[in-house]
């Protein structure tokens, strides 16, 4: 199972991770086109926290025993059997925000583009390397293998 | 006269079409040159704040930024360059010494590029480094002119001489003395790890030893300079060798000064001085006013390290360098480090940097020749520094007679430095010449170590390629082998001092 | 300091002499024959061996070293000289007389050969230094040779040992041999050289063998480390007056084998040092030894392609470079040892050797006279693991 | 070996997952009184309000049950249990043997004494899909335009929301002086009440229904205060209680709910219980109680399942928590939020036009949090409560708009960012 390791000692707070997360969600690598022509950009699925000298990006930890899975009343939140990533089936999600309440990292976002649904980092499993990891200029985010 | 507005040195061009207002450039600039106007939804740059470090250019995700030099189109004059003009203006305004950083940037001091190397053709075969062993291991330290060997019989050959302690370098390139204080801990860690990986050495500089660096002792040379910061018995014994610093190429004849505001808690601990006090390295060592004083210090350190560590002496290359080096060798140094006029630094008066000392090429040639003439070349290794930018420079320096080279600026460039020469401001955007924790962490030592190692790996390959091309497979056959060098565009006297022939001359 | 730089511009009449004033690259054939019982044999044998390697030269240089040829005067240093003119000869003799008693002074006997163009006065002296042979006396002779070669214009010492002599010149070996009437000499060690320099003219002094005292060297190859080998020797007080790599080898042999008294084994490990990868994996004492040799005598590492035959009155040794870029073959038959560039050069004088082999890169082959305390067999130093 | 699970709610289904994680061979039998198996009860208000579809009601699909090789006995109501014989008795007369039994029967609606309830159509409880179907049909067939919801708790309000989505005019009647009085504090209740009223919903507090009138079908209710309201639909949602009556003679210890230990074992060997039918420790006050919320049911079911197959697992206790969005106002309540300063608790609040935040602390540890409107990152508080983190070093940052890990002690943050995050299961 993969997890994105957050190394705050190397985060420079540039937020390139956020920018590229948005692009990855849109599904293109052409940032200029995305930011110019896509009318409603999704929120990044990670948060850059900052306070004085400390900065770091934080996204789903892909917990072994995830609270969000336990709290989900619809079955929309599920573990991808192939990659082990926790994913949201936005079609099934009804927007009850139980996962938002339960996630101890606070990295599940509420979205509402016509339909309420939770949104979270799914490790870019359809993309390959997570966009944030790939574009972090200082390797503050690295993809690691955990567990068995 | 009214205050002069100094025109910006750099102009940051932002392609507004490509700019996606991600504000990365705004967030990263430690000089605050980039800013965002929310009302206009536009990112602007205050060019006068830009130092030309190119960090924002490097992180801009859409290549919207180009940092260009402002040409300062004053009326053309061969005598008055814009640099000269603005130096005068600056001094007229401030009344102070012009400060700068890194090495001499003037063209006339470079001789490496006027030397060319030889290669085998027909009469002796070149050697393919991919197929045959190609050896560049180097030992630094005092050698013996005669080894006593007892040959009992065919299989019993015994070395009787007890050879002096040596530094074993898998590549004859080391990282120059750069102190914790002048550069960040992450920068030093990067070099330390790279030195460990590549089997070479880094140098603590005059900054004492941060506790995180202790584990790199096997690959560390500890420096003892005029301020004696952080020097105690443990420090002297924590590395593989000790280097006494008398001078450095970027500022021969003057000392160093780390302002109190940079003496943070961690730096105060490693330098062993109170937080916030200025760290002043005097121009001379106040216990060394003569060569015999130096000898005493060399042997005091040898005593302190029980004769287990080679002790070197670093000097700036000045006019009388050959005689001084000879004196240092005779004073008992195991290696002599010579730093040429192009050597870098964190802060130096511009006048010193640009006008004092001699190019390292000449220094190598005269020191090596002098020591050989005196029959004492084996008594100490010669390490040279100041302007080594590439493996070709390493090869040429060694062919001129150096045992190994130090790289400082080049090492920092491998870590990201773009030579903006503003180290003395302590705001280095690349996390190198700064102690600001927010900036320091921009240099991830894992990446830094990888990059510095890669540089040395690349050089290793290149040096081997060049050796193979010359038909030799061990670096000792290159060392001092000036036959492989020829000069281009040098006058008779320069050729003679360098001990080389002109291009076109045969053996 | 190289003369070319200094003299070329200061004296317009100066015409540089190849080998003496500038270095020329060359390829060659070498051969050495030794009778280990010390029985002398005629020079025709080595000439025959060289003749078959005619192709390895181009007529621009050849030479022979012969040991045991002056038994009646074996207690005296024999100087073989090349003079450009009578002035040089007179100056030299004047210098020699100050230091030595000249026992014999005579021209080196020659025979007219249509293919040899005589350009020098060829002379030999038998000199008595007046003292018992000690190393300081030897040093004295060495400095005499150095002085003549460096300081006396138009004079060159070809050889300076006892009971031995070097005969060399510009031509093919069979012609040079004929010219010097080598068929009239008998010796127990003969080494020879056939040269293929890559330039048009040759200088007699530039031909091989090179010698100092009893030592002689023939060499096939080009020493790419020449520049540093020469400067290494400077640190030990040697002045290389010629611009040939072979001279450097001769001096290095003198330094290590005569002065430092290292065996051929140790010396060969300096000239053709084992690789670090081999050294690192050797047992501790060997590792220390070889590391120290490379560390301290790295400037004496002979890098680049070479095969050499080194001889003195007691022994003959063959050695090739550390990756054997030049050929070398050895053979034995009864009390004879043969070392040559080609097997053919051995077979032509010894049809059925008992053993014939190609030594490994950097491994010396050495034969010693049976008399004396040296080991009785041909030594073939075992390679490091 | 036969594992029998009674009840197809989250506790039962998560127990099946745990069992199958370890034991893929032995039989697992799922017995449920319901017609639909594997659906999510909280979704019935979403279904009624057409915020989801029938096909998406199943929290665990048929496929899941097939993959896990589960035998199913639907519409089988269990009426008794003989623990010595390891036998279950069903209403239809069937007897079911078990080796290991899990009781996960959840809760059932509680109905107060109201005059005239019997025999009237148009009066419903609202806890099962079948309830939903009935209500949906009733509204459709009778073209209902208004409704009374008795009970201002979470179920009542979610039902209200659904009815409003269908265009009904709804009146909420709550006995206490404010709605959501259990989960939320006064302030949060006010905000939600205001929002509901703005959407056209009537809220009556401090009152209750005492009488129902109608001929076969409800037409009017009378309140305790004497007020009368005409209506054709009454939803009774005043609460649920553990569904454990069938165990009365089984010998299993029952207090308010089934008494279980941390391994989810009942007082009888090989009988386990999990979910809304049990009572266990509240992590904050240490009291035994029923915490009838989804995540607790899942966690308990998981622990029960592991222990049934012999894999040691413990449930440390739970806390109440709820997330609900009413009239467009998202709210989160975690832990104990109605505690007041006089009792030694520290209360931090933040309020502006759109948002309300309240943190309740005891001994520098968070015991409860309410978030109204801005509920993003609410889970951080949940984590801090569950992990009992001392917040004294960053207490002043707790109410910050950008409150996050950056303010937390570095060591704790490092653990959360770099290690495996475990906040609940030991």
- C199-219, pLDDT tens digit by residue? 545 688 888 899 899 999 999
Largest CA distance in chain B: 92
CA distance D425 to chain A (A): 8
- Nearest CB among C227, C260, C375 relative to B146 is that of C260
CATH number belonging to the domain at A63-120, selected among 3.40.50.720, 1.10.357.10, 3.90.1150.220, 3.30.70.20: 3.30.70.20
Mean pLDDT of B479-499: 96
pLDDT in tens, A83-103: 889 999 999 999 999 999 999
> Which of D368, D417, D424 best tests the A interface by mutation, with the highest count of A CBs <10 A?
D417
- Nearest CB among C236, C265, C305 relative to B157 is that of C265
Residue B341's H or E segment, with its range, is: none
User: Mean pLDDT: which of C50-64, D204-218, D405-419 is highest?
Assistant: D204-218
Instruction: State the pLDDT at residue C370.
Output: 84
- Nearest CB among A51, A58, A101 relative to D378 is that of A101
- Closest residue in B to A23 (Cα) is B61
CA distance D158 to D172: 11
Q: Residue D27: count other Cβ atoms within 10 Å of its Cβ.
A: 14
Strand C329-333 versus strand C210-212 pairing type: unpaired
**Burial annotation C237-275 (CB, 10 A radius, 16+ → b, else e):** ebebbbbbbbbbbbbbbbbbbbebebbbbbbbbbbbbbb
pLDDT in tens, D304-349: 999 999 999 999 999 999 998 988 899 999 999 987 777 889 999 9
Question: Which chain B residues are closer than 8 Å to C277 by Cβ?
Answer: 133
Band of pLDDT at residue C24, cut at 50, 70 and 90:
low
Instruction: State the pLDDT at residue C135.
Output: 64
Tell me what percent of the residues of chain C surpass a pLDDT of 70: 86
Distances (CA, A) of C134 to B289, C130, C259: 47, 11, 11
Indicate if C28 belongs to the active site.
Answer: yes
Instruction: State the pLDDT at residue D242.
Output: 95
Q: Tell the burial category of D143 from Cβ atoms under 10 Å away from its Cβ (0-12, 13-18, 19+).
A: exposed
Q: With 60 as the cut, is the pLDDT of residue B328 above it?
A: yes
C55, C58, C60, C62: CA torsion to nearest 10 = 0
Contact C3, C336 (CB under 8 A): no
Residues 88-147 of A with CB under 8 A from B: 135, 137-140
Instruction: Please state, rounded to an integer, the average pLDDT across all residues of chain B.
Output: 93
Distances (CA, A) of D65 to B397, D3, D35, D72: 76, 14, 15, 9
Question: Which chain A residues are closer than 8 Å to B185 by Cβ?
Answer: none
Question: Which chain C residues are closer than 8 Å to B470 by Cβ?
Answer: 224
Q: With 60 as the cut, is the pLDDT of residue A131 above it?
A: yes
> How high is the ipTM of this complex?
0.84
Q: With 70 as the cut, is the pLDDT of residue A104 above it?
A: yes
Q: Does A142 touch chain D (CB under 8 A)?
A: no
Whole-structure pTM value:
0.88
Domains in chain C with CATH codes: 25-380 (3.60.20.10)
Question: Which chain B residues are closer than 8 Å to C280 by Cβ?
Answer: none
CA distance A34 to chain B (A): 9
Question: Which chain B residues are closer than 8 Å to C224 by Cβ?
Answer: 120, 124, 470-472, 477
Instruction: State the pLDDT at residue C377.
Output: 56
Mean pLDDT of D160-187: 93
Mean pLDDT of D177-203: 93
With an 8 Å Cβ cutoff, the interface of chain B facing chain A consists of: 17-18, 20-24, 27-28, 58-59, 61-62, 437-438, 441-444, 446-447
Helix ranges, B358-441 (H): 360-373, 391-400, 409-415, 437-440
CA distance A21 to chain D (A): 19
Question: Which chain D residues are closer than 8 Å to A101 by Cβ?
Answer: 321-323, 332, 334, 375, 378-379, 382
Contact C198 B472 (CB under 8 A): no
Residue from C28, C78, C240, C350 carrying the catalytic annotation: C28
Residue with tokens 């001699």: B358
Mean pLDDT of D56-85: 93
Q: Does A53 touch chain B (CB under 8 A)?
A: yes
Helix ranges, chain C (H): 3-10, 44-51, 86-99, 135-151, 173-179, 226-235, 245-253, 264-271, 276-280, 284-297, 343-347
- Contact partners of D by the rule of 3+ C-beta pairs under 8 A? A
Mean pLDDT of D409-424: 75
Contact A85, A123 (CB under 8 A): yes
Band of pLDDT at residue C2, cut at 50, 70 and 90:
very low
- Nearest CB among A19, A138, A139 relative to B22 is that of A19
A134's tokens: 């790939």
CA distance B229 to B16: 50
Check if CATH label 3.30.70.20 holds for domain A1-59+125-148: yes
pLDDT in tens, D202-257: 999 999 999 999 988 999 999 999 999 999 999 999 989 999 999 988 999 999 99
Residues 69-88 of A with CB under 8 A from B: none
Instruction: State the pLDDT at residue A1.
Output: 83
Contact B32, B43 (CB under 8 A): no
Domains in chain D with CATH codes: 2-108+241-308 (3.50.50.60), 123-238 (3.50.50.60), 328-418 (3.30.390.30)
Mean pLDDT of B394-414: 97
> Which of B335, B366, B483, B484 best tests the C interface by mutation, with the highest count of C CBs <10 A?
B483
Tell me what percent of the residues of chain B surpass a pLDDT of 90: 78
Q: With 70 as the cut, is the pLDDT of residue D403 above it?
A: yes
Name which of D241, D316, D303, D240 is nearest D273 in CA terms.
D303
CA distance B22 to chain A (A): 7
Band of pLDDT at residue C8, cut at 50, 70 and 90:
very low
Mean pLDDT of A124-146: 92
Instruction: State the pLDDT at residue C18.
Output: 62
Instruction: State the pLDDT at residue C11.
Output: 39
CA distance A52 to chain D (A): 9
Kindly list the domain boundaries of chain B, sorted by start residue.
10-73, 149-502
Mean pLDDT of B107-116: 94
Q: With 70 as the cut, is the pLDDT of residue C13 above it?
A: no
Instruction: State the pLDDT at residue C373.
Output: 45
- Nearest CB among D14, D40, D379 relative to A104 is that of D379
State the CATH architecture for B10-73: 2-Layer Sandwich (3.30)
Question: Which chain B residues are closer than 8 Å to A20 by Cβ?
Answer: 61
Kindly list the domain boundaries of chain A, sorted by start residue.
1-59+125-148, 63-120
Residue with tokens 């940079």: B262
Mean pLDDT of B222-246: 94
CA distance D323 to D337: 14
B334's tokens: 């195991």
pLDDT in tens, B278-312: 888 888 898 899 999 999 999 999 999 999 999 99
CA distance B341 to B387: 8
Give me the CATH code for the B149-502 domain, please.
3.20.20.70
Instruction: Please state, rounded to an integer, the average pLDDT across all residues of chain D.
Output: 92
Contact D332 A101 (CB under 8 A): yes
Band of pLDDT at residue C345, cut at 50, 70 and 90:
very high
Q: With 60 as the cut, is the pLDDT of residue C4 above it?
A: no
Please state whether at least 3 CB pairs lie below 8 Å between chains D and C. Answer: no
Instruction: State the pLDDT at residue D423.
Output: 55
Q: With 80 as the cut, is the pLDDT of residue B125 above it?
A: yes
Mean pLDDT of B192-200: 97
Q: A1-59+125-148 and A63-120: same fold? A: yes
Instruction: State the pLDDT at residue B3.
Output: 62
> Which of A58, A73, A93 best tests the D interface by mutation, with the highest count of D CBs <10 A?
A73
Measured in whole angstroms, how far is the alpha carbon of residue B392 from the centre of its chain? 16
Q: Residue D187: count other Cβ atoms within 10 Å of its Cβ.
A: 15
CA distance D398 to D418: 22
DSSP calls for D147-165: EEEE--SHHHHHHHHHHHH
């Amino acid at each position: 199972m993969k997890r994105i390791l957050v190394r705050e000692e190397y985060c420079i707070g540039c937020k390139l991770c956020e920018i590229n997360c948005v692009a990855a969600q849109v599904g293109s690598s052409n940032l200029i086109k995305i930011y110019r022509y896509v009318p409603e950009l999704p929120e990044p699925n990670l948060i850059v926290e900052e306070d004085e000298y400390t900065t770091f990006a934080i996204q789903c930890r892909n917990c072994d025993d995830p609270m969000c899975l336990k709290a989900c009343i619809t079955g929309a939140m599920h573990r991808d059997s192939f990659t082990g990533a926790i994913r949201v089936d936005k079609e099934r999600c009804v927007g009850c925000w139980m996962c938002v309440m339960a996630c101890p990292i606070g990295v599940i976002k509420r979205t509402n583009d016509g339909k309420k649904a939770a949104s979270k980092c799914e490790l870019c499993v359809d993309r390959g390397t997570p966009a944030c990891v790939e574009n972090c200029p200082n390797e503050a985010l690295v993809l690691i293998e955990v567990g068995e | 006269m009214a205050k002069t507005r100094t025109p910006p040195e750099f102009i940051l061009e932002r392609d507004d079409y490509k700019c996606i207002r991600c504000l990365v450039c705004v967030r990263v600039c430690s000089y605050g040159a980039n800013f965002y106007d929310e009302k206009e939804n536009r990112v602007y740059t205050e060019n006068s704040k830009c130092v030309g470090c190119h960090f924002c250019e490097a992180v801009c995700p859409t290549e919207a930024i180009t940092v260009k030099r402002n040409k300062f189109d004053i009326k053309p004059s061969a005598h008055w360059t814009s640099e000269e003009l603005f130096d005068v203006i600056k001094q007229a305004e401030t009344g102070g010494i012009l400060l700068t950083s890194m090495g001499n940037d003037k063209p006339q001091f470079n001789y490496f590029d006027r030397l060319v190397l030889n290669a085998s053709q027909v009469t002796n075969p070149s050697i393919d480094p991919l197929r045959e062993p190609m050896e560049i291991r180097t030992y630094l330290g005092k050698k013996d002119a005669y080894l006593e060997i007892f040959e009992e019989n065919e299989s019993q050959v015994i070395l009787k001489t007890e050879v002096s302690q040596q530094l074993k370098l898998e590549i004859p390139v080391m990282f120059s003395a750069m102190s914790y204080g002048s550069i960040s801990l992450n920068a030093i860690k990067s070099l330390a790890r790279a030195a460990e990986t590549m089997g070479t050495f880094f140098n603590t500089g005059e900054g004492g030893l941060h506790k995180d660096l202790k584990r790199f002792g096997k690959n560390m040379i500890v420096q003892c300079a005029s301020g004696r910061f952080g020097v105690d018995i443990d420090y002297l014994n924590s590395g593989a060798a000790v280097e006494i610093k008398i001078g450095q190429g970027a500022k021969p004849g003057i000392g160093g000064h780390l302002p109190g505001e940079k003496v943070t808690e961690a730096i105060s601990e490693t330098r062993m001085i109170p937080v916030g006090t200025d760290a002043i390295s005097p121009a001379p060592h106040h216990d060394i006013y003569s060569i015999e004083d130096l000898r005493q210090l060399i042997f005091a350190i040898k005593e302190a390290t029980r004769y287990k560590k080679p002790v070197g002496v670093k000097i700036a290359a000045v006019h009388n360098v050959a005689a001084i080096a000879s004196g240092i060798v005779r004073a008992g140094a195991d290696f002599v480090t010579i730093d040429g006029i192009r050597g870098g630094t964190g802060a130096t008066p511009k006048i010193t940097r640009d006008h004092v000392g001699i190019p390292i090429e000449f220094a190598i040639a005269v020191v090596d020749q002098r020591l050989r003439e005196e029959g004492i070349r084996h008594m100490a290794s010669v390490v040279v520094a100041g302007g080594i930018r590439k493996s070709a420079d390493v090869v040429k320096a060694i062919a001129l007679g150096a045992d190994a080279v130090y790289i400082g600026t080049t090492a920092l460039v491998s870590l990201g430095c773009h030579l903006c020469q503003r180290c003395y401001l302590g705001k280095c955007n690349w996390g190198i010449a700064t102690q600001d924790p927010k900036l320091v962490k921009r240099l991830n030592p894992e990446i830094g170590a990888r990059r510095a190692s890669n540089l040395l790996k690349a050089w290793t390959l290149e040096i081997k390629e060049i050796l193979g091309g010359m038909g030799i497979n061990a670096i000792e056959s290159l060392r001092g082998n000036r036959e492989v060098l020829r000069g281009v565009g040098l006058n008779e006297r320069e050729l003679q001092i360098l001990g080389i022939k002109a291009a076109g001359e045969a053996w | 300091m190289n003369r070319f730089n200094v003299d070329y511009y200061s004296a317009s009449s100066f015409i540089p002499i190849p080998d003496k004033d500038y270095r020329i690259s060359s390829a060659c054939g070498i051969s050495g024959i030794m009778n280990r019982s010390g029985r002398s044999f005629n020079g025709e044998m080595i000439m025959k061996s060289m003749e078959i390697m005619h192709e390895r030269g181009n007529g621009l240089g050849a030479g022979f070293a012969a040991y045991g040829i002056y038994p009646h005067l074996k207690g005296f240093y024999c100087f073989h000289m090349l003079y450009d003119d009578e002035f040089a000869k007179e100056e030299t003799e004047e210098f020699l007389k100050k230091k030595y008693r000249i026992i014999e002074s005579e021209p080196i006997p020659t025979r007219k050969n249509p293919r040899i163009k005589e350009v020098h006065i060829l002379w030999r002296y038998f000199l008595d230094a007046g003292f018992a042979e000690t190393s300081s006396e030897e040093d004295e002779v060495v400095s005499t040779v150095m002085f003549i070669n460096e300081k006396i214009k138009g004079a060159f010492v070809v050889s300076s040992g006892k009971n031995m002599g070097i005969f060399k010149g510009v031509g093919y070996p069979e012609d040079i041999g004929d010219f010097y009437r080598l068929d009239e000499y008998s010796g127990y060690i003969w080494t020879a050289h056939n040269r293929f320099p890559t330039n048009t003219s040759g200088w007699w002094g530039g031909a091989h063998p090179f010698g100092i005292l009893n030592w002689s060297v023939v060499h096939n190859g080009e020493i790419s480390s020449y520049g540093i080998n020469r400067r290494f020797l400077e640190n030990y007080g040697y002045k290389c007056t010629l611009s040939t790599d072979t001279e450097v080898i001769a001096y290095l042999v003198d330094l290590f084998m005569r002065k430092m008294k290292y065996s051929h084994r140790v010396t060969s490990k300096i000239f053709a040092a084992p690789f670090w990868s081999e050294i690192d994996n050797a047992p501790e004492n060997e590792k220390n030894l070889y590391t120290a040799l490379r560390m301290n005598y790295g400037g004496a590492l002979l890098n680049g392609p070479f095969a050499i035959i080194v001889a003195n009155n007691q022994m003959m040794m063959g050695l090739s470079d550390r990756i054997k870029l030049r050929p070398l073959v050895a053979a034995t038959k009864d009390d004879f040892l043969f070392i040559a560039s080609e097997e053919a050069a051995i077979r032509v004088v010894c049809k059925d050797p008992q053993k014939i082999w190609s030594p490994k890169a950097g491994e010396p082959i050495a034969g010693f006279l049976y008399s004396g305390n040296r080991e009785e067999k041909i030594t073939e130093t075992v390679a490091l693991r | 070996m036969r594992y029998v699970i009674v009840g197809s709610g989250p506790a039962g289904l998560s127990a099946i997952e745990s069992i199958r994680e370890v034991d893929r061979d032995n039989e697992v039998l799922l017995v449920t009184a319901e017609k639909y198996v594997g659906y999510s009860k909280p979704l019935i208000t979403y279904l009624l309000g057409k915020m989801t579809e029938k096909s998406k009601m199943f929290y665990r699909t048929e496929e899941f049950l097939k993959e896990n090789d589960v035998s199913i006995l639907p519409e089988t109501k269990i009426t008794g249990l003989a623990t010595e014989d390891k036998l279950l008795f069903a209403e239809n007369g069937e007897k079911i043997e078990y080796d290991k039994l899990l009781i996960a029967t959840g809760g059932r609606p509680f109905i107060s004494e109201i005059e005239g309830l019997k025999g009237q159509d148009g009066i419903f409880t609202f806890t099962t899909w079948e309830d939903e179907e009935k209500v949906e049909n009733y509204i459709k067939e009778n073209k209902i335009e208004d409704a009374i919801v008795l009970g201002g708790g979470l179920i009542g309000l979610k039902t209200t929301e659904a009815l409003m989505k269908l265009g009904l005019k709804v009146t909420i009647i709550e006995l206490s002086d404010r709605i959501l009085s259990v989960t939320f504090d006064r302030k949060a209740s006010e905000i939600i009440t205001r929002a509901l009223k703005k959407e056209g919903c009537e809220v009556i507090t401090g009152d209750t229904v005492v009488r129902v009138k109608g001929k076969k079908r409800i037409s009017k209710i009378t309140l305790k205060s004497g007020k009368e309201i005409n209506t054709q639909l009454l939803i009774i949602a005043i609460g649920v209680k553990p569904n454990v009556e069938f165990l009365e003679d089984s010998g299993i210890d029952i207090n308010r709910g089934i008494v279980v230990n941390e391994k989810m074992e009942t007082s009888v060997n090989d009988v386990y219980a999990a979910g809304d039918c049990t009572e266990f420790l509240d992590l904050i006050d240490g009291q035994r109680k029923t915490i009838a919320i989804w995540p607790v049911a899942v966690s308990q079911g998981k622990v029960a399942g592991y222990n049934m197959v012999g894999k040691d697992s413990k449930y440390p206790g739970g806390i109440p928590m709820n997330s609900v969005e009413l009239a467009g106002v998202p709210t989160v309540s975690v832990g104990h939020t109605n505690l007041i300063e006089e009792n030694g608790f520290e209360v931090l609040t933040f309020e502006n036009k759109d948002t309300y935040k309240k943190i309740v602390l005891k001994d520098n540890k968070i015991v409860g949090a309410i978030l109204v409107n801005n509920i993003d990152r609410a889970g951080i508080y949940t984590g801090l409560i569950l992990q009992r983190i001392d917040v004294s070093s960053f207490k002043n940052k707790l109410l910050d708009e950008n409150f996050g890990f950056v303010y937390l002690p570095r060591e704790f943050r490092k653990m959360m960012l770099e290690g495996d995050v475990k906040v609940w299961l030991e």
